[in-house]
Amino acid sequence: MRDDSVTSAEVLLDWYDRHARVMPWRVAPQDRLAGVRPDPYHVWLSEVMLQQTTVAAVRGYFMTFVTRWPRVEALAAAADEDVMALWAGLGYYARARNLLKCARAVVACGGAFPQTEEELRELPGIGPYTSAAIAAIAFDAPATVLDGNVERVMARLFRVADPLPGSKERLRGLAAGMTPLRRPGDYAQAVMDLGATICTPRSPSCGICPWFDRCAARTAGDAEVYPVKTPKKPKPVRGGTVFVAFRGDGAVLLETRPDSGLLGGTLGFPGTPWAEAPLDPCPPVRADWAPVGEVRHTFTHFHLRLAVQVARGVTAAPSEGRWRRDISPGEVPTVMAKAWRLALAH
């Protein structure tokens, strides 16, 4: 590492010691310097939850999980449906399925998380970013952590004009060159905090940035231009129909989606596949069905328009799914909760 990079790292660590965000899974820098070590289970769980999700959204979920399953052994022994139910609302349900697979793999190997990036990547659901984050934060390894915040900080610090995602590896190399051997775990969290609180996507607070006099984009006065991104293609629109059936006693018809595919393994209402050319709806049970409107939801790669049909006082046996009387919107994915609320309103 160059001498100026060492100095930059020390400046950032000094800022982090005074301004680190407080998070339930994080060991404060003062405690870490006093010898308190992070719990690898907490680090891993929070990093999986934080993928494609905000810190504000994750706090409550994290506390719920560690209260119910305080150790990786407890999570590994949990029923799949219980974990999927508590995950509802976090999105990207493949993460929840891999969460269970990973917990069980760790327990099968003795209950201790591996400490190197290479070994961590062999676990289900752990890719380059997550393995680097766990290695750095939990085990203080000098791993290069590259999330969206770090990409933005590096792109501005070095004024990288090449657009993302093509410039990702260059940004990774720049970030690696900045990573210190001293306190690499705190440094990784410091860069992420810097991007989340000061070097924000819009209106960065350059005047209070610890790297104020080191940032090429700030010096040029065009920090908001970076990182440059390749224009996104418009998202396609898909459609489908969902059927919300009520039995006379108030029970509702539910199904568990297949493990593979979008929302895999989650609880929801029977319906048609989602396609750009929607299929003719085929109800799961004989009843007087009434259309009550449409709900809309946006996934990573497409927009969804889901027609909702409702039937009440159903007496016939369904061709699929099962009846339940204790359903709540919190047990189902967000798009299904939207359909549920629309059905109740009618």
Catalytic residues: 47
- Which of 302-341 are b and which e, b meaning 16 or more Cβ less than 10 Å from the residue's Cβ? eebebbbbbbbebeeebeebebeeebebebbbebbbbbbe
The DSSP secondary structure of 296-328, one letter per residue, reads EEE-SS-EEEEEEEEEEEE-SPPSS-EEES---
Angle (CA) 141-126-34 rounded to 5° is 30
Secondary element (H or E) of residue 7: helix 3-19
Angle (CA) 333-61-96 rounded to 5° is 55
Amino acid at 167: S
Other CB atoms within 10 A of residue 21 CB? 13
Q: Are 228 and 163 within 8 A, CB to CB?
A: yes
The DSSP secondary structure of 167-221, one letter per residue, reads THHHHHHHHHHH--SSSHHHHHHHHHHHHHHTS-SSS--GGG-TTGGG-HHHHHT
Bridge partner residues of 295 (DSSP): 306
